[in-house]
Structure 1
Amino acid sequence: MKKTYLLLLIFFLASCSSSNNDTPLPDNNGNNNDGTPVLVTKVITSGETSTYSYNGSKLFQIINITKGNVTTFTYTNDLITQSETIGPNPQTNQYTYDTDKRLIKLIASGVSFGTSWSLESDYTYKPNNRVEIKFYKKFTPPLQRRRGSVSAVLNTDGSLSSWNGSFDRTLNDNPGVIATSKLKTVEYDTKNSPFKNITGYLKIIDLENKNGSSHNTLNYDHMINYEYLPAPTVEAERTAFKSDFEYNTSAYPIKETRTTYANYKGSPTTINISTFEYNHL
């Protein structure tokens, strides 16, 4: 069950990386098509294939061919206000923004492996590039509730830098777990994220895949310390990965090799390879 504690704010979209070789021409966004942005069209991760379709630069649909999931996106002007996934694990996300076009609320619900869940997250922006995220998540059956908050630091471009947080979990109204979490400073490259030109995509920040950055994540390291009640047993869990990229001549990734570390000792546990295809490239 510990692994599920990492899913406090996650809503599915995609992972970070993509591209194909090209010869850039002047003033055409580096993709040999005047005024047309580079958009990722296919991601293959460890044999699992997802395709992306658009209305202009607005994301219309992601189809996970391997799993049979279809995610459709709704916009209000240039902001993503809803995503709906149909398939084996259905899910709906609704996003609300303030007048500065910053995400201030996420309401999500779905079914995962036979368990229904709902999530509400509220974002409050503070001085000095900080944002507080308060969340409440519920699962049935059995009845589980998780409530907590994250104090996150943003980079000057609005992307996620680090956070400290805490949460508690109750099972059938009985106290069970309290925890603290810490995300070390996220390291990015200076290249182009495959998702940087998708309208509204960088406005969404969650735990891992959506970090608000137009660059690619090189190092991500998140530690959770659990205290189980009533017995004062403390355990730690680390979720971390390191990514190496291959880029095309327009500085978009065409291949990502991600090594994921799943325990506090830092020994590699999995290696996943993703490849990326784009329009026009």
Structure 2
Amino acid sequence: MGEVNKIVSLLMVSIVVLCSCSEDKVSTDKLLRKTVEISENGTSTTTLYNYNGNEIVSVDGAKKYISYTYTDGLITKIITKDKESQWSVTLDYTYNKAQLVRMHSSEGYVMNYSHKGDGTVSYEKVVLDSQNQETKVFHGILYFENWNLVKDERIFDDSPQGVLSKQKVSFEYDSKNNPFYNILGYAKLLSHNEVISINNNRLAVVERVVIQDDQLTSSANLYQGVFKYDTDNYPVEHVTEASIVNPNYVKTQFFY
């Protein structure tokens, strides 16, 4: 009987430990509520993030308003509206077994994705003309390690005759928490590049190669930033001189 009581006590302790771990995990799954980007001349831009549970509803910035639509836990539509011109762009996402296979833009192009058994994802961008005739713009392969996008290799199919143009972007990450990864379905949006990764991108190297008439021209650009974190290992500040998506801002502050 003593052995039975001992086993029951051990089980109760195990359950308490498991519950405690679960509560800790939930408490540290933060959602990003606001960012403030401060430019080199000191001007600031605020962006607000709105949610329904862990589903993102909208992103309200100084120049753009972005709304999101979910279907069965997956983001199936994103509409971006320019506040000044009122021009809007709609992106429709299609999935197969919860994997993104197609993104259609109202601007007249399609991104097709194919998920491979080795974890890589091949993709292509196709432009549609008024008769829905397709012209391939580029194609490439995405490489992932430990839920991070680590490399994007691309060949440009719309280069002039006799010209081979290609690009490779390599990403390095910290070991901390990327708040965008906590947004339901966000990690499926392959067109969002390194932002879908589980960790924060701290360095990117963009290499470009053009081959024409047996002549090779190459270039490489390095983009890096420095993060500061809170006690839960989420970024509270990111300082950079240049970024792939925005080469102008210097500092971004994160609020949860």
Aligned to 1:179: 165
Mapped pair 1:160 → 2:149 = yes
- 3-state SS, counterpart of residue 206 of structure 1: helix
**Of residues 67, 74, 80 in structure 2, which corresponds to 1:72?**
67
Is residue 195 of structure 1 aligned with residue 190 of structure 2? no
Partner residue in 1 for 2:90: 92
Q: Deviations over 1:155-204 (max 9, x none)?
A: 143x312132211326xxx75964111123x2111111121211111111
Cα distance in 2 for residues equivalent to 1:240 and 1:137: 30
**Alignment partners' CA distance in 2, 1:50 and 1:219:** 23
| 2:226 equivalent to 1:244 | yes
Relative to structure 1, is the Cα distance of residues 43 and 197 closer, same or farther in structure 2, using a 3 angstrom cutoff?
Answer: same
CA contact (8 A) 2:139 2:157 kept: no
Which residue, 50, 55, 58 being the options, matches 2:55?
Answer: 58
C-alpha separation in 1, matches of 2:91 and 2:104: 6
- Shift in Å at residue 224 of structure 1? 1.8
Query: Displacement of 1:118 after TM fit?
Result: 2.7
Name structure 2 gaps, 5 residues minimum.
1-19, 39-43
TM-score scaled by length of structure 1: 0.69
Question: CA offset at residue 146 of structure 1?
Answer: 5.4
| Partner Cα distance (2:126, 2:55) in 1 | 30
How far residue 236 of structure 1 moved from its aligned partner, in angstroms, is: 3.7
- Match of 2:179, SS state, is coil
Specify whether residues 85 and 254 from structure 1 end up closer, same or farther in structure 2 by C-alpha distance, changes over 3 A only.
Answer: same
After TM superposition, the structure 1 = structure 2 runs for residues 195-274 of structure 1, keeping only pairs within 5 Å, are 195-206=180-191, 208-210=193-195, 212-227=196-211, 235-260=217-242, 272-274=250-252
Contact kept, 8 Å, 2:28 with 2:232, in 1: the verdict is no
Classify the secondary structure of the residue corresponding to 2:175.
coil
Change (3 A) 1:35 1:216: closer
Q: Which amino acid aligns with 1:63?
A: D
Consecutive unaligned residues of structure 1, counting only runs of 5 or more, are: 1-24, 110-116, 263-268
Cross-structure match for 1:11: none
Higher helix share: 2
Aligned to 1:107: 104
Q: CA deviation at 1:233?
A: 6.8
State TM-score, norm by structure 2: 0.75
Q: What SS does the aligned partner of 2:156 have?
A: strand
How far apart are the structure 1 equivalents of 2:24 and 2:240? 28
> What's the counterpart of residue 3 of structure 2?
none
Aligned to 2:125: 135
Contact 1:243 1:258 in 2 (8 A): yes
Which deviates further from its counterpart, 122-131 or 200-209? 200-209
Deviations 1:6-59 (A, max 9, x none): xxxxxxxxxxxxxxxxxxx975457xxx76841101111222211010111100
Structure possessing the higher relative contact order (Cα contacts under 8 Å, 6 or more residues apart): 1
**CA–CA distance in 2 between the matches of 1:221 and 1:107?**
28
Contact 2:207 2:221 (C-alpha < 8 Å) held by counterparts: yes
SS of corresponding position for 1:220: strand
User: What's the % identity of the aligned pairs?
Assistant: 23
Task: Work out the CA distance in 2 between the residues paired with 1:42 and 1:192.
Answer: 16
Distance 1:138 1:225 in 2: 27
Separation in 1 of the partners of 2:243 and 2:30? 32
CA distance, structure 1, for counterparts of residue 128 and residue 163 of structure 2: 15
Change (3 A) 1:156 1:26: closer
Bigger Rg, structure 1 or 2: 2
How far apart are the structure 1 equivalents of 2:53 and 2:157? 43
Q: What is the CA-CA distance between 1:240 and the residue it aligns to?
A: 3.5
- For the aligned residues, what is the CA RMSD? 3.0
